[in-house]
Amino acid sequence: MGFRKKNKAPEIDLVAEFMKLPASDNTMFLSSPSSISEVIEEICNEWSIGTKNSPEQIISQEWNKIVGTKLSSRCAPEKLSSNGTLYLRAANGPVKQELSFIKKKIISRISRLDGCTFVKDIKIT
């Protein structure tokens, strides 16, 4: 990632000797830099970024099933905090009230989704 390791070149020892520096015990050195796109691609592959859906994506994709088609057009998930609180945006007061009535059902349905078991609370705005 970033810099690639290669075998040590003999020039390093020559420069060290010329500058009266101790010879390096390290048999590796860093080569020229990689392009930023190569580094980003390596990081994405290493951390599986872009291959798995985040909890936010899963909730958004399943939103119709979670709240039903009637409500899903009048509200939407807005943000999911690290402490397990899901923030919802509601179109108006009656929708907020309806969501508050089925809050436990929403949490239950979300917690059954893969990777979303940590959702423990809902705040409606």
Is the domain spanning 55-124 CATH 3.30.300? The answer is: yes
Residues of the chain with CATH 3.30.300: 55-124
CB atoms within 10 A of CB 49: 12
Residues linked to residue 104 through DSSP beta bridges, in sequence order: none
pLDDT in tens, 13-25: 777 777 777 766 5
pLDDT at 52 over 70: yes
pLDDT for the residue 33? 76
pLDDT for the residue 87? 97
Helices marked H in 19-62 = 36-46, 55-61
User: What is the pTM for the complete model shown?
Assistant: 0.61
Question: Is the dihedral angle over the CA atoms 15, 18, 22, 25 positive or is it negative?
Answer: positive
Amino acid at 101: F
Q: Which residue has the tokens 């003999």?
A: 10
pLDDT in tens, 77-108: 999 998 999 999 999 999 999 999 999 999 99
